[in-house]
């Protein structure tokens, strides 16, 4: 047989194999969400609709009863079972928690997170969770957090908003929140305020590096693993940007760790007898036990993402919804006036404390409603250890990945009713004026089951303190013709920011 004969035989075998593989996929994929193209799978439709991916998947999942299969290009390990069925969510995140893990693929995609609490499984995860739980519940930490927010609002947020009012210019409110939360999380975690939020809006490389790293992680979700792995090896495209961003982040974090170690050395030399409860989390971690630098680096990175981007996202979407729903704004202001009088009549308007914001039921409901429609983390996925069957009847193979769309769940009428697309804080308030309980597997903005966010209560405290201060003292007006769109990142921020004008609220 000549060379042409061998080539023809090889091509024939390859075509035959591809046909068999194609029909095998068709037979195995019993609940396809999209058209499964030969070789490319369902990726073409995903990429075509990437600019509005969350709304696209919301519509697709509704058409398929809430659960279906997504298959990526052949041999790329991009096959997912996607669901918004709350019973499936409850099964995976709670009832069968030990059978579903983050898994090696998740850790590979979220490499920047290291071995921190968000990527860890089994015993390492439990150790991290118990450690952070003890820090958050420590006597004085809530007081430390409250003091930090008060200082940041008075020293930075108020002057910036006053300056914007005087200038009468358009500002990106999301950028304001990004800077505020970055300064705040630096103070809480590192004990150091970088002063990103000031009237001159300085460029801060570390703040931009976090954004770039998160965009890179999202990119890894929507392109085949072999593609981004190759880009990482060659240091081109999005992976080059991500490598540079992670290097900037690591340098910043390791510098902070070295500085803290020196502070701890001096602390021991001074032989202080009593430990101060009102200290930053990195100091607390170092005092807890002798952790290696890598553990501290991963802990700091995970705390930064949890305490910065999620709060920025929540506040941005909240203020956009309130500004575009004036009735809700009026009710929030009425509640503030009813509880605390005319706060803006004071010569130096203050910030509410922890106990005071806990009294704001309608504001709490409005924030919950914002989180329902725009969850800061729009999707979550888990990997099955052993084969399983979900409550919906869908089978799960060992090693298969299940993806939850939190964004789509917030727009599911089977969960929230026919008015699920409306911003309606009243759905969270009972006839007696208390909060309506919604199971976490239906409202999973803070995850559900054993992995429920440890900082949930702290997050609500921060958001309500900031929201109450701004709304009682300033009017936030969205610029005419502004259209809010979601960005492409692992955290649901606004694409191009939130363009508004700030004016002082009259008496």
DSSP codes of every residue in 56-94:
HHHHHHHHTTTEEEE--STTS---EEEE--HHHHHIIII
Q: What is the pLDDT of residues 250-298, one digit of tens each?
A: 999 999 999 988 887 776 666 554 455 568 899 988 887 788 999 999 9
Q: Which of 7-21, 90-104, 314-328 has the lowest mean pLDDT?
A: 7-21
Residue 20's pLDDT band (cuts 50, 70, 90):
very low
Q: Which of 24-28, 246-250, 282-286, 360-364 has the lowest mean pLDDT?
A: 24-28
Average pLDDT over residues 493-498: 93
Residue 424 pLDDT level (bands cut at 50, 70, 90): very high
- Whether the per-residue pLDDT at 11 is higher than 70: the answer is no
Average pLDDT over the chain reads 87
Judged against a pLDDT cut of 90, whether residue 307 lies above it is answered with no
- Whole-number Å distance between alpha carbons of 223 and 408: 21
Residue 17 has pLDDT above 60, yes or no: no
Tokens of 39: 């070789």
* pLDDT recorded at residue 343: 65
What is the rounded distance in angstroms from the CA atom of residue 233 to the CA atom of residue 77?
A: 19
CA 114, distance to chain mean position in Å, is 17
More confident residue, 225 or 277: 225
Mean pLDDT, residues 380-387: 94
pLDDT at 278: 65
pLDDT at 152 exceeding the cut of 80? yes
The pLDDT of residue 157 is above 90: yes
pLDDT at site 15: 42
| Domains of the chain as residue ranges with CATH | 31-504 (1.10.630.10)
Q: Report residue 7's pLDDT band, with 50, 70 and 90 as the boundaries.
A: very low
In this prediction, residues 330-343 reach a mean pLDDT of 89
Does the annotation list 420 as a binding residue? no
**Residue 428: predicted pLDDT:** 97
Residue in the structure block whose two tokens are 């727009």: 411
Neighbours of 502 (CB within 10 A): 24
Under the banding of pLDDT at 50, 70 and 90, the label for residue 460 is very high
CA of residue 118 relative to chain centroid, distance: 11
342 close to 489: Cβ distance less than 8 angstroms: no
Percent of the chain at pLDDT exceeding 90: 65
The region of weakest confidence among 6-15, 456-465, 494-503 is 6-15
- 88 contacts: CB under 8 Å, gap ≥ 6: 67, 390, 391, 392, 394, 402
Q: What does the pLDDT average to over 55-73?
A: 89
> Tens of pLDDT along 231-247?
999 999 999 999 999 99
């Amino acid at each position: 047989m000549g060379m042409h004969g061998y080539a023809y035989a090889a091509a024939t075998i390859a075509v035959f194999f591809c046909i068999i593989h194609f029909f095998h996929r068709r037979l195995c994929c019993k609940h396809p969400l999209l058209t499964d193209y030969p070789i490319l799978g369902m990726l073409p439709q995903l990429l075509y609709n990437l600019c509005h991916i969350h709304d696209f998947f919301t519509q697709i999942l509704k058409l398929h009863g809430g659960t279906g299969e997504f298959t990526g290009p052949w041999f790329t390990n991009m096959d997912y079972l996607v669901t918004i069925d709350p019973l499936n969510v409850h099964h995976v995140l709670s009832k069968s928690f030990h059978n579903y893990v983050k898994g090696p693929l998740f850790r590979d995609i979220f490499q920047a997170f290291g071995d921190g609490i968000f990527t860890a499984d089994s015993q390492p995860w439990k150790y991290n969770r118990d450690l952070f739980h003890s820090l958050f519940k420590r006597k004085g930490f809530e007081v430390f957090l409250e003091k930090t927010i008060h200082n940041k609002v008075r020293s930075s947020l108020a002057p910036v908003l006053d300056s914007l009012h005087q200038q009468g210019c358009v500002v990106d409110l999301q950028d304001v929140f990004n800077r505020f939360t970055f300064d705040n999380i630096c103070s809480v975690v590192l004990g150091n305020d970088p002063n990103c939020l000031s009237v001159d809006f300085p460029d801060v490389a570390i703040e931009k590096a976090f954004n770039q790293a998160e965009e890179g992680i999202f990119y890894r979700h929507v392109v085949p693993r072999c593609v981004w792995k190759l880009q990482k090896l060659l240091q081109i495209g999005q992976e080059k940007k991500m490598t540079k961003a992670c290097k900037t982040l690591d340098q910043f974090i390791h510098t902070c760790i070295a500085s803290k170690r020196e502070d701890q050395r001096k602390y021991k030399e001074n032989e202080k007898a009593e430990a101060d409860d009102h200290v930053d989390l990195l100091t607390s971690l170092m005092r807890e036990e002798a952790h290696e630098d890598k553990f501290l680096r991963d802990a700091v990175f995970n705390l930064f993402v949890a305490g910065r981007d999620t709060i920025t996202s929540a506040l941005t979407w909240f203020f956009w919804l309130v500004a575009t729903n004036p009735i809700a704004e009026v009710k929030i202001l009425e509640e503030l006036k009813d509880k605390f009088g005319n706060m803006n009549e004071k010569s130096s308007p203050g910030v509410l404390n922890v106990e005071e914001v806990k009294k704001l039921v309608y504001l709490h409901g409005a924030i919950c409603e914002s989180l329902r429609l725009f969850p800061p983390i729009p999707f979550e996925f888990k990997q099955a250890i052993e084969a399983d069957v979900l409550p919906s009847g869908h089978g799960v193979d060992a090693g298969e990945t299940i993806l939850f769309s939190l964004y789509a769940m917030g727009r599911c009428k089977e969960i929230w009713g026919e008015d699920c697309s409306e911003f309606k804080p009243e759905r969270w308030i009972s006839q007696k004026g208390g909060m309506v309980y919604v199971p976490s597997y239906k409202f999973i903005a803070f995850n559900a089951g054993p992995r429920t966010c440890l900082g949930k209560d702290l997050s609500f405290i921060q958001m309500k303190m900031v929201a109450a201060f701004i709304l009682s003292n300033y009017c936030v007006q969205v610029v005419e013709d502004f259209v809010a769109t979601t960005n492409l990142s692992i955290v649901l921020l606004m694409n191009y920011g939130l363009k508004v004008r700030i004016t002082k609220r009259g008496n």
